[in-house]
Amino acid sequence: MTDNDTLRRFLFEHLGIRGELVRLSASWQALHQDHHYPDTVLSELGQAIAASILLSATIKYDGSLILQMEGSGPLTMLVAQATSQRTFRGLAHWNDTVEPGDLHAIHGEGRLVITLQPSGAGDRYQGIVPLTGADLAGALGAYFQQSEQLDTGLWLAANASQATGLLLQKLPDRQSDDADAWNRIAQLAATLTDSEMLQLSGEAIIHRLFHEEDVRLFEAEPVSFRCGCSRERVAQAIRGLGRSEAESILAEQGTISADCEFCNRHYAFDPVDVEALFVASPVSSPSSGNH
Ligand SMILES: [Zn+2]
């Protein structure tokens, strides 16, 4: 059985440390197949997608976790979003050639904003991570260490066919008798190479690193690429323009069309569609229940 396109949690029960491993293959390829990203941009985006899934799975909530990076460097914007339903989407914008390098070389002067957006009512949370250091995994690990006081380690790797991420985190409410446990587990994880991350199955990675430890593996959860866009959302945006603005676009262009940047889906509204958006709002009509 393959564990591609899954998230797998595991636990070092006696050490008070939890782990998560995400491995994306077909779902990751579906995300980027129509975008023609250069190799370095692909690698950065895949790492950010893997990180967003790992981080969203550390929190009990209903909604989405968004990593957004903006900077003055060749990779100008990158966004990765993962939901509590284990779906993800993301995209990147770049200028010129993006050479491999550290975060500053790739993003320039920039920052990473982590947003936790609940799907219903509730406050959204934002944290800001400086884009400094060797890579995203290091920047996120340092952020959790400093701002959340949580020992957290991330390891991320991505190419065109695969995106893989490993997260280890000390459980905040658990004291272990084994004082050196965190250092030992983190040092084992640090021996993992990028090519192992991209080639080995999830179970093989966990076995390769932790076969001498007592690890409890949980069921793999499926993870999929899904964009939240819909015709109804585009319709709402057109209603938001107001009737006269919508009609002036129709007069100029014949139809109102929108392309989703995340999934390349194309939405078009002709004059009849637009007229229907502005006639009696369906919200006020009582539900008849006569079907
Ligand atoms: Zn879309």
User: Are 177 and 81 within one domain?
Assistant: yes
Kindly state the helix (H) or strand (E) to which residue 64 belongs, with its residue range: strand 63-71
Q: How many CA atoms lie within 13 A of 89 on its CB side?
A: 10
For the cut 70, the answer to whether the pLDDT of residue 287 exceeds it is no
Residue 43 CA to ligand 1 centre (angstroms):
21
**What is the C-alpha separation between 120 and 114, in angstroms, rounded?**
18
| Cα 262 to middle of ligand 1, angstroms | 5
Q: Domain span at residue 148? A: 6-225
- 259: pLDDT strictly greater than 50: yes
Q: Considering the chain, what percentage of its residues have pLDDT values greater than 90?
A: 79
106 against 173, higher pLDDT = 106
Amino acid at 110: G
Q: Categorize the per-residue pLDDT at 282 as very low, low, confident or very high, splitting at 50, 70 and 90.
A: low
Q: What pLDDT does 290 receive?
A: 46
Least confident range from 7-21, 31-45, 225-239, 272-286: namely 272-286
- Is 201's pLDDT higher than 50? yes
CA of 90 to the centre of ligand 1 (A): 10
CATH of the domain at 180: 3.55.30.10
> What is the pLDDT, as a whole number, of residue 284?
46
Q: Clarify whether residues 45 and 82 are in a common domain.
A: yes
Shared-domain flag, residues 91 and 145:
yes
The predicted pLDDT at position 96 comes to 80
Residue of 218, 196, 66, 180 lying closest to 127 (CA atoms): 66
Kindly state whether residues 236 and 129 are assigned to the same domain: no
Beta bridge partners of 165: 22, 156
Q: What pLDDT does 264 receive?
A: 85
Task: Clarify whether residues 194 and 63 are in a common domain.
Answer: yes
This prediction has a pTM of 0.88
- Residue 262 in domain: yes
Parallel, antiparallel or unpaired: strands 125-130 and 152-158: unpaired
**134 and 170 part of one domain:** yes
Residue 61's pLDDT is 87
Give the pLDDT band of residue 174 (cuts 50, 70, 90). Answer: low
Neighbours of ion ligand 1 (CB under 5 A): 227, 229, 260, 262-263, 265
Q: Which of 208, 225, 242 marks a domain boundary?
A: 225
> Mean pLDDT across the stretch 241-255?
95
Residues 111 and 195 in one domain: yes
